[in-house]
A and B are shown apart, each in its own frame.
Chain A
């Protein structure tokens, strides 16, 4: 069974450009999470959805970040405009309700 799928795996962009990260959760899971991992701050929850509805976006750093989940099998995290301090590894995870969260392989974002 396929795990959580993220694309792209690596993204290099220039400051000011729009970046879109994509996630396909495990089939049947109804909760989806976006995390960011940096050396300085570790692994932080940005936003999570339950049944495609955003439940908690208190971790979204600022208005430049937005996330959508148009259906149960797809979510995007968008940064517009991107800045060098957004460079990090972004993980998507999914779960069935309050059960175990399974993480994707991550997208390594570098903003020059």
Chain B
């Protein structure tokens, strides 16, 4: 069964303390690996899509990478406003026009001053 596992469940960092969030997957026919950010009381906000092993994408303090088994979200010198829950999701197989996303349970990140 296709699945994705995120770790750690929660992470507390000091401002400026870089770290990485992990998304391990076992998916047949992976078509895309997605990262979303979710703030309390809001819907998920799209960050990145990765399609093939070796691919990397960056946005401000965030960089997402993909291997054949894992994806990492690297956070460099985080700030308190980076505090949120980070979700990864995958799309596999053939879909009927839209992307059927399957989400992990997320990593809750808190960045303190």
Which A residues form the contact surface with B (CB < 8 A)?
4, 30-33, 42-45, 48-51, 55-56, 91, 93, 95, 97-106
The answer to whether residues A43 and B96 also contact, given A91-B43, A101-B46 and a CB cut-off of 8 A, is no
In-complex Cβ contact of B105 among A42, A56, A91 (8 A): A42
* Majority DSSP secondary structure for residues of A touching B: strand
What separation, in Å, do the CA atoms of A43 and B104 have in the docked complex? 8
Does B49 make an interface contact (CB < 8 A)?
Answer: yes
Closest to A97 in B: B97
Proximity string of chain B (53-97) to chain A, C-beta cutoff 8 Å, 1 when within and 0 when not = 000000000000000000000000000000000010001000111
Closest to B97 in A: A50
**16 sampled A-B residue pairs with Cβ under 8 A:** A31-B97, A31-B98, A31-B99, A32-B98, A42-B104, A43-B87, A43-B103, A44-B103, A45-B100, A45-B102, A50-B96, A51-B97, A93-B43, A95-B98, A101-B46, A105-B42
Contacts of A106 in B (CB 8 A): 41-43
Q: Are A103's CB and B43's CB within 8 A?
A: yes
In-complex Cβ contact of B98 among A4, A44, A50, A104 (8 A): A50
The 8 A-B residue pairs whose C-beta atoms are closest, nearest first, are A103-B43, A31-B98, A50-B97, A55-B96, A43-B103, A42-B105, A103-B44, A100-B46
The answer to whether residues A98 and B95 also contact, given A42-B103, A43-B103, A56-B100 and a CB cut-off of 8 A, is yes
Q: Are B96's CB and A104's CB within 8 A?
A: no
Q: How far is the CB of A87 from chain B (nearest CB, A)?
A: 16
Contacts of B101 in A (CB 8 A): 33, 45, 101
Q: How far is the CB of B44 from chain A (nearest CB, A)?
A: 5
Contacts of A91 in B (CB 8 A): 43-44
Closest to A58 in B: B100
What separation, in Å, do the CA atoms of A102 and B103 have in the docked complex? 14
